[in-house]
Structure 1
Amino acid sequence: MDALIVIDFTYDFVEGSLPVGQPAIDIQETIATLTQQYVDQGDFVVMAVDLHEENDPYHPESKLFPPHNIRGTQGRALYGELANVYQRNMDSIYWMDKSRYSAFCGTNLDILLKERGITKVHLIGVCTDICVLHTAVDAYNKGYAITVFEDAVASFNPQGHEWALAHFKGSLGAEVIISSK
């Protein structure tokens, strides 16, 4: 069994307060399709969703980005068809709040993967060069094999996106592939 980690594909990151914009809109169908495929295969699917508190002066992102994915706001809602996939498969998808870039930092993700004997993670979502990248680095440091779907990640920084794709391959030994949808 493998794990699919869907990272931060929420309204705020697609077209809300910290938008990736069209590049994220363009991958929404692929993200929904891949998520459903992994659920149907019986793989472990994780929604790793950014969670922030309103006006948190202690969180380091408060100095770097506008407020986003604030607890209790519509900005945290899954975007587009992914929301429907989640609603149909809530019993088969693990929702995990995260408060840092990496889905591993401050969460029980590593424990959940190890309990299930998972050694390979597949990453999709946004932003390629921030949360997807930091999750991949932590996965690498914890010994997981990594696959990143190039057609299911996006960023508001085109140069950062391209750099991260090269970094996944060249420095983390990740497989960077195009989905077969």
Structure 2
Amino acid sequence: MQGLVVIDYTHDFVATDGALTTGQPGQAIEKNLVQIARDFVTNEDFVVMAVDRHDQNDTYHPENKLFPPHNLVGTPGRELYGELADFYQAHRSKIYWLDKRHYSAFCGTDLDLRLRERQITTLHLVGVCTDICVLHTAVDAYNLGYQLVIHESAVASFDPVGHEWALRHFKNTLGAKVVD
């Protein structure tokens, strides 16, 4: 069985005016990312929207020392970006929404439980940022024994060097299939 995790494809991470945007690289993957999600929903595979969730003025979260405020609860920045927002609205009953507080979609969430309930052994990853949240999710998935598929045409970063490094790391260190 297989599942898809769409990671952090929100206004703050993708839109030109987003608080922590990947900008053009993130925008360029939109059609491929939405098509992959559409294919998974059509096949009735498990689809997860893993979305970063932060609270305004949270002085305890370590990301606050590293990045500007982003994906704040109740702000437009946390909304899904572009066509993915419309796709989600049309298929929300078939997609599992997962709030996450850390880079990895597994950290402090019930993602592993949800996947194991469905006997999912292969996990497809798309979204942003390749070298941060996608990478940390992939590492945790690998450590939990999942087979990984990374869709190169549906991941992006604001750091081109980090993006390329992460793609090599997925393949050479985590044994992931990196596909177009």
TM-score range, shorter chain: over 0.9
Alpha-carbon deviations, 1:10-50, whole Å to 9, x = none?
00000210000000110011111111110000100000000
More off after superposition, 30-39 vs 129-138:
30-39
Instruction: Give the letter aligned to residue 67 of structure 2.
Output: F
Q: Provide the rounded CA distance (Å) in 2 between the counterparts of 1:64 and 1:98.
A: 17
Q: What is the match of residue 120 of structure 1?
A: 122
Consecutive unaligned residues of structure 2, counting only runs of 5 or more, are none
Tell me the SS of whatever aligns to 2:173. helix
Instruction: Give the letter aligned to residue 14 of structure 1.
Output: V
Pairing 1:71–2:73 present: yes
Q: Provide the rounded CA distance (Å) in 2 between the counterparts of 1:11 and 1:31.
A: 15
Pairing 1:10–2:4 present: no
Q: Provide the rounded CA distance (Å) in 1 between the counterparts of 2:32 and 2:171.
A: 21
Q: Provide the rounded CA distance (Å) in 2 between the counterparts of 1:34 and 1:175.
A: 15
Alpha-carbon offset, residue 86 of structure 1 = 0.3
Q: What is the match of residue 160 of structure 1?
A: 162
Instruction: Give the letter aligned to residue 164 of structure 1.
Output: A
Consecutive unaligned residues of structure 1, counting only runs of 5 or more, are none
Amino-acid identity (%): 62
Q: What is the match of residue 102 of structure 2?
A: 100
Q: CA RMSD in A?
A: 0.4
Q: Provide the rounded CA distance (Å) in 2 between the counterparts of 1:126 and 1:13.
A: 7
Tell me the SS of whatever aligns to 2:77. helix
Instruction: Give the letter aligned to residue 179 of structure 2.
Output: I
Q: What is the match of residue 144 of structure 1?
A: 146
Instruction: Give the letter aligned to residue 2 of structure 2.
Output: D
Aligned residues: 178
Q: Provide the rounded CA distance (Å) in 2 between the counterparts of 1:52 and 1:106.
A: 14
Q: Provide the rounded CA distance (Å) in 1 between the counterparts of 2:133 and 2:7.
A: 7
Pairing 1:43–2:45 present: yes
Give the TM-score, by structure 1 length.
0.98
Alpha-carbon offset, residue 55 of structure 1 = 1.2
Q: Provide the rounded CA distance (Å) in 2 between the counterparts of 1:43 and 1:85.
A: 15
Q: Provide the rounded CA distance (Å) in 1 between the counterparts of 2:110 and 2:34.
A: 24
Ranges of 4+ aligned residues in structure 1 off by more than 3 Å: none
Q: What is the match of residue 34 of structure 2?
A: 32
